[in-house]
Amino acid sequence: MSSYDPAALECLAAIIEEGGFERAAQRLNVTQSAVSQRLRALEAQVGSVLIVRSRPLRPTTAGQLLLKHTKQMRLLRADLERDLQELAPSAPGGGREDERISIAINADSIATWALGALQDLVHQRLPLEIIVDDQDFTQEWLRSGQVLGCVTTLKQALRGCKMVPLGAMRYVAVASPAFVQKHLTSGLTAHNFRTVPYLSFNRKDDMAVEFVSRAFGLKRVALNHLFVPSSEGQMHAVAAGWAVGVLPELLVRDKLADGSLVDMAPGQVLHIQLYWHCWNLESEVLDALTLALTETAAQSLVAS
C-alpha cells in the first residue's frame, strides 16, 4: 500500500473542513498555491479526484476514505499525546489546531448535559471540535468520515463502528404565561394545536410535529413553524412569547418550577432515545470520550 504524505492528508482535510482553499491555506499557514499543489500531488498518487469543486466543496468517495484515514491518524497522535503526558505531566500537551478530534452532537444535548461530560477532557487539553446538527442527522457526519463519533437517535451501528445506548431525553411543550393567556387558556389540545406557531431548530427538525402527533394520536400533523437554530435561543423565544416550544425538560425545568414557563400539555412527555456511535478502534481517546458521555448520560437522561 502507498504511504501518503501526512502534510498532504492534512491539506485535504483542511480544504474539506474549512470549505475552501483560501481558508485551508490560512489554517495551515501556507500559500493557497501550496494547498493546490499538495492536493494535486495527492490526487496523482491516489489516481482519483478527491474533491468536487462545487459550492460547497465536497469530497468524492475516495476523498471521504482519505479524510477518515486522516482523522484516524489524528486519533493515534492524540493517544500518543495522552501517553506522553502520563510519562511527563509537566510537558506541554494538546494537539495542533489542525489536528482536532471532531465529534457530532445534537444541539439539545449540547445545551443540557454533553458539555459537562466533556469538561475534564477539555481541561486535559484534548483538541476537541464539536459539530452540531439535528439528532437524526449527526450520524451522516460519521458516515462521511468527518467525525470519529456522534450522538444520534439512530440505533443501527455503521460498518466499522460501535454503538452504546445513552438513555432518553424528555421533551415537554412549553409557552410563556402571556402567550397562554392570549392564545391557549385551555392548554394545548387536539382541537386548538393548529392555531398557534411552534419553534423548530431548522427545517429538518420534526420534534414539535412528533410531540403533537403522539400526544393526540394523529398520523399526519401540519404545524406553523418559526425557526431558531439554538436550544437556548428557542427557550428565550418561548419566554418572550413567540410560540410554543417542544424543549428538553432538562433545559426548562427551573423555569417551569418558578412559573416563568407553562407546561402546555401536562402529563404528555416525548422520550427521544439517544445513542453514542464511534469508530470501532482501540484508542484511549475514544474510550475516554465514550466513558465520559455514558457516565454523564446515565446521571442526566432517562434509562433506556
Condensed to tens digits (0 to 9), the pLDDT of residues 27-55 reads 898 999 999 999 999 999 988 889 888 87
pLDDT of residue 99: 66
Place of cell 471540535: 129
Pairing assessment for the beta strands 224-227 and 197-200 based on DSSP bridges: parallel
pLDDT band at residue 260, thresholds of 50, 70 and 90?
Answer: very high
pLDDT band at residue 242, thresholds of 50, 70 and 90?
Answer: very high
Alpha carbon of residue 248 to chain centroid:
16
pLDDT band at residue 91, thresholds of 50, 70 and 90?
Answer: very low
Nearest to 48 by CA among 63, 70, 64: 63
> 169-272 falls under which CATH superfamily?
Periplasmic binding protein-like II (3.40.190.10)
Residues of the chain within CATH 3.40.190.10 domain(s) are 169-272
pLDDT at 219 over 70: yes
Is 126 exposed, middle or buried (CB count within 10 Å of its CB: 0-12, 13-18, 19+)?
buried
H-type alpha helices, 20-135:
21-28, 32-46, 61-87, 107-109, 115-123
80 in helix, strand or coil? helix
Highest mean pLDDT among 6-10, 223-227, 282-286 belongs to 223-227
- What whole-number distance in Å separates Cα of residue 111 and Cα of residue 27? 28
pLDDT at 292 over 80: yes
- Which letter does DSSP use for residue 94 in this model? -
pLDDT of residue 98: 54
pLDDT digits (tens, 9 = 90+) for 68-77: 888 888 888 8
Place of cell 451522516: 140
H-type alpha helices, 88-223:
107-109, 115-123, 138-143, 177-183, 207-216
pLDDT of residue 80: 79
pLDDT of residue 82: 73
Mean pLDDT (whole number) for 85-104 = 63
pLDDT of residue 76: 82
Residues of the chain within CATH 1.10.10.10 domain(s) are 1-99
pLDDT band at residue 104, thresholds of 50, 70 and 90?
Answer: very high
Return the minimum-mean-pLDDT range out of 68-82, 103-117, 157-171: 68-82
Nearest to 283 by CA among 73, 69, 30: 73
Helices 32-46, 6-18: inter-axial angle, 10-degree rounding = 110
CA dist list (Å): 69 to 61, 62, 182, 220, 253 = 13, 11, 56, 43, 42
Task: Name the average pLDDT for the chain.
Answer: 90
Give percent of the chain above pLDDT 90: 63
Class for domain 1-99, per CATH?
mainly alpha
Mean pLDDT (whole number) for 108-113 = 97
- What whole-number distance in Å separates Cα of residue 249 and Cα of residue 174? 9
Of 271 and 85, which is predicted with more confidence? Answer: 271
pLDDT of residue 237: 98
Mean pLDDT (whole number) for 204-218 = 94
Q: Tell me which H or E stretch contains 12.
A: helix 6-18
